[in-house]
Chain A
Amino acid sequence: MKRFADLLDSLAYQPQRNAKLRLLADHFARVPDPERGYALAALTGGLDFALAKAGLIRGLVTERVDPVLFELSYDYVGDLAETASLIWPERTEAGNAAPTLRDVVETLNSTGKANLPGIVAGWLDALDADGRWALIKLMTGGLRIGVSARLAKTAVAQFGNVDIAEIEELWHALEPPYEDLFAWLSGSGPKPDPNLAAAFRPVMLAHPLDEQDLEKLSPSDFLAEWKWDGARVQIAADGGRVRLYTRSGDEVSGAFPEIVEGVDFQATLDGELLVMRDGLVAPFGDLQRRLNRKSVGPKLRADFPCAVRLYDILLDAGEDLRSLPFQARRDRLEAWVERISHPRLDLSPTVPFSSWDELACLRRDGAEPGVEGLMLKRADSAYMPGRPKGLWFKWKRDPALIDAVVMYAQRGHGKRSSFYSDYTFGVWRGDELVPVGKAYFGFTDAELRELDRWVRANTVNRFGPVREVEKSLVVEVAFEGLQRSTRHKSGLAMRFPRFSRIRWDKPVEEADVIENLEALLPR
């Protein structure tokens, strides 16, 4: 537990991505099984303790600490978990051995509600302040130390000197504390068998199109498709199992039964999850009602019916098609859609064109609801995990849209004074987020309530009316123009920025980089 606590502590203060990776890889190298595996589980969201809640901690602390001193301290520190961990009367001399991370995980998973307070109190007695903080954060499920599941997996890959795609492909077949994974990565065991039914295949991603590059590209080398305004998913059906994955490999089958039900084929398909009514795509806001849920009730399912619009096929009846050129996979996909009937699956059509100018016109005018731009894919491109250069491009419709990360939130004025309604957002400059603007509208009242809740639950720091939040929420920001500015750290000022969408689904690593904005500056 001590080393896990040290790790959390260093990660929490370290802003640089590369430094975080080094801290993680060092931890995996130094710390033995099963401790390192449970640490990995904690960082990838693989642990969930239903009974251990913040109220339990507060109860234990107030039994032990003078209430006046507790209130003064809480007021000063501002965070319950931190106050509790610091103020807990240390009793290390009582001689209890500090728990290991394994003790904590296994005991929390097997202990009933009645015995929990006594056990937790014993642990808190035996740990030091950093250990108590880590324990409370772990138990109550809010590590919030700026490490995404993907970053943790990247560190594992670095530790073992393998490609991240290999880890992602295996991931669903692994379980905490991942002893088989670490054995393989440290050269003392075989590679764990990924050949489990319906495995996730790491997805291929596109680069934003730089329009100046079009001259160098030949239209006849590319196929175009509409870019749908939904959430990227992968359907994997094999050996009697059907799984629906997000683009980062998290399984969400339970939340979208209409997709999973009635699958009697054997294939792995790539497509866009959309809310569809009578063959038409509903606004993204409708889809949001269905995202981020573990399960779905009949009403929600009926009101917001989901479907998947397919654009690639990776495996067909056990045959791996990923090394085929895109054109050949496309032919296979079209034949497959002809052959298979599933009420909630359809084909994303290609968009025929003969010149870039023609395509630019189509991008501007001719599209149905739910289209946010075009995808350009080289006809000869194999399906390669990650974001290979020069093969796939996304060409969004409105150039003045960026994906930014929410960094700070501030209370509004007037009737919004109880809401965190003014948001400072930033984009990446190398490893760092730099603030590029502030927006306080563009969302509905319902979205504001959700944002406000999110801000309160994800605060990492307070400065008067301003809260610094966990850098984990991407928003699509629309704006009217961009100018250079010496007043902002980023050197940019945005005109008329507002939220156009909240991307609850999007990993922060995929927010825009500052170079994308600089390219929009007037010359």
Chain B
Amino acid sequence: MVKPESWLKTTPGGLYCEPGDFYIDPTRAVERAVVTHGHADHARPGHAKVLATDATLAIMRSRYDDQSGITQQAIAYGEVVEIGGVKISLAPAGHVLGSAQVVVEYAGSRVVVSGDYKRRPDPTCVPFEPVSCDVFVTEATFALPVFRHPSDEQEIAKLLRSVALFPDRAHLVGAYALGKAQRLLRLIRLAGYDRPIWLHGALQNLTDLYAGFGIDFGDLRPATEATKVELAGQIVLAPPGALADRWSRRLPDPLTAMASGWMRVRARARQRGAELPLIISDHADWDELTRTIRDVGAPRLWVTHGREEALVHYATGLGIEAEALSLVGYEDEDS
């Protein structure tokens, strides 16, 4: 067996597959890119050829317009394409709509590049599927045993309880524009909340895009068109950047909630000025990461971005040959 690091290499532009001449989630514009999902640090503008799921490609188009790849090739989960003797397929990653793990096979070995992923159910995307492999490439955003996200239901209940207790205050929920916002909307609906939910303009496009993929969000309205009185006791979603911004002055005595895995740590929650931290994450927590490592059964683990040290330590303890790739250019998203 040819060692995988001889054909799948860490470069300044990201993971590069030499025989197939393609990058996975390149951090700069390249000739051929395979993209795991639509988050901006993974899906960048300006590539010549892009291979991804149709949802990811749609997200890229909505974000980058004519910069979203000159040639776009959509493949379904499980479909296999071959480039330069390298077999490529995509498996669901459960992270956001369209998110995929990239499964690459070459010279008798299989590497799974999982991108960003989570294991718990998400009503807006297909659940993660473990794929057995020789090398598993994983993120480590929440790779410390202090990160164990509580159930979504519990966190949504916290939000709804607060809405009931403070009926005169607008509940301004900060949520990442791609994935987190739409998941929150669905979770709030699943909890039985059927009043209008108000959106910051920056969330509108991607939410419409999700709706186009058949996801029903109920009664959504633009927050800019509401009067102050109308918004008392209402739920308003905005990107995290808008929470402290002048935009929020339109709201009556806003109570700031923030939906993110980082809310688990009090110092981080206070830093964000959250009055109501909601621990809802699109990334695997410690238990999900360690369970996944055991599920895929790979003898080798490459850790991309996040708290690599703890995960490498854990995997080494299981007898896995683990190392940090120290890729640059990926962010601690889930903000």
Contact residues of A with B, CB < 8 Å? 6, 10, 12-15, 19, 22-23, 26, 65-66, 68-69, 72-73, 76-79, 82-83, 86-87, 90, 128-129, 460-463, 468
Contact partner of A66 (CB less than 8 A), chosen from B166, B307, B317, is: B317
**Which residues on the A side are within 8 Å of B158 (C-beta)?**
6
Q: Across the interface, do A129 and B313 meet the contact criterion of CB distance under 8 Å?
A: no
How many residues does chain B have at the interface if contact means C-beta atoms less than 8 Å apart?
28
Q: Across the interface, do A90 and B148 meet the contact criterion of CB distance under 8 Å?
A: yes
Q: Answer yes or no: B145 CB below 8 A from chain A CBs.
A: yes
**Which residues on the B side are within 8 Å of A68 (C-beta)?**
310, 313
Give CA–CA (A69, B314) in the complex, Å: 8
**Which residues on the B side are within 8 Å of A460 (C-beta)?**
270
Q: Beyond A66-B317, A72-B310, A73-B145, is A86–B267 a contact (Cβ under 8 Å)?
A: no
Q: Across the interface, do B275 and A86 meet the contact criterion of CB distance under 8 Å?
A: no
**Which residues on the A side are within 8 Å of B148 (C-beta)?**
86, 90, 129
Nearest residue, chain A, Cβ from B253: A16
Q: Answer yes or no: B266 CB below 8 A from chain A CBs.
A: yes
Taking A19-B275, A82-B265 as given, write out 11 further A-B residue pairs in contact, using a Cβ cutoff of 8 Å, ordered by the A residue number.
A12-B266, A13-B274, A19-B166, A69-B313, A72-B313, A77-B265, A79-B266, A86-B145, A129-B148, A463-B271, A468-B270
**Which residues on the B side are within 8 Å of A26 (C-beta)?**
165
Give CA–CA (A214, B3) in the complex, Å: 90
Q: Across the interface, do A78 and B267 meet the contact criterion of CB distance under 8 Å?
A: yes
Residue-wise interface mask of B (137-153) relative to A, using a CB-CB cutoff of 8 A (1 in contact, 0 not): 00000001111101000
Q: Across the interface, do B267 and A461 meet the contact criterion of CB distance under 8 Å?
A: yes
**Which residues on the B side are within 8 Å of A6 (C-beta)?**
158
For the complex formed, measure the closest distance between the CB of A46 and the CB atoms of chain B, giving whole angstroms. 25
Give CA–CA (A13, B144) in the complex, Å: 23
16 contacting pairs across A/B (C-beta < 8 A) = A10-B276, A13-B270, A13-B277, A14-B275, A22-B166, A65-B145, A66-B317, A69-B310, A73-B146, A76-B307, A77-B146, A90-B148, A461-B270, A461-B271, A462-B267, A463-B271
**Which residues on the A side are within 8 Å of B266 (C-beta)?**
12, 79, 82, 461
**Which residues on the A side are within 8 Å of B144 (C-beta)?**
69, 72-73, 76
Q: Answer yes or no: B8 CB below 8 A from chain A CBs.
A: no
Q: Answer yes or no: B269 CB below 8 A from chain A CBs.
A: yes
**Which residues on the B side are within 8 Å of A73 (C-beta)?**
144-146, 310
Q: Across the interface, do A15 and B307 meet the contact criterion of CB distance under 8 Å?
A: no
Q: Across the interface, do A23 and B310 meet the contact criterion of CB distance under 8 Å?
A: no
For the complex formed, measure the closest distance between the CB of A159 and the CB atoms of chain B, giving whole angstroms. 14
Q: Across the interface, do B275 and A87 meet the contact criterion of CB distance under 8 Å?
A: no
For the complex formed, measure the closest distance between the CB of B206 and the CB atoms of chain A, giving whole angstroms. 28
Q: Across the interface, do A15 and B265 meet the contact criterion of CB distance under 8 Å?
A: no
Give CA–CA (A78, B267) in the complex, Å: 8
Residue-wise interface mask of B (34-72) relative to A, using a CB-CB cutoff of 8 A (1 in contact, 0 not): 000000000000000000000000000000000000000
For the complex formed, measure the closest distance between the CB of B297 and the CB atoms of chain A, giving whole angstroms. 22
Q: Across the interface, do A128 and B150 meet the contact criterion of CB distance under 8 Å?
A: yes
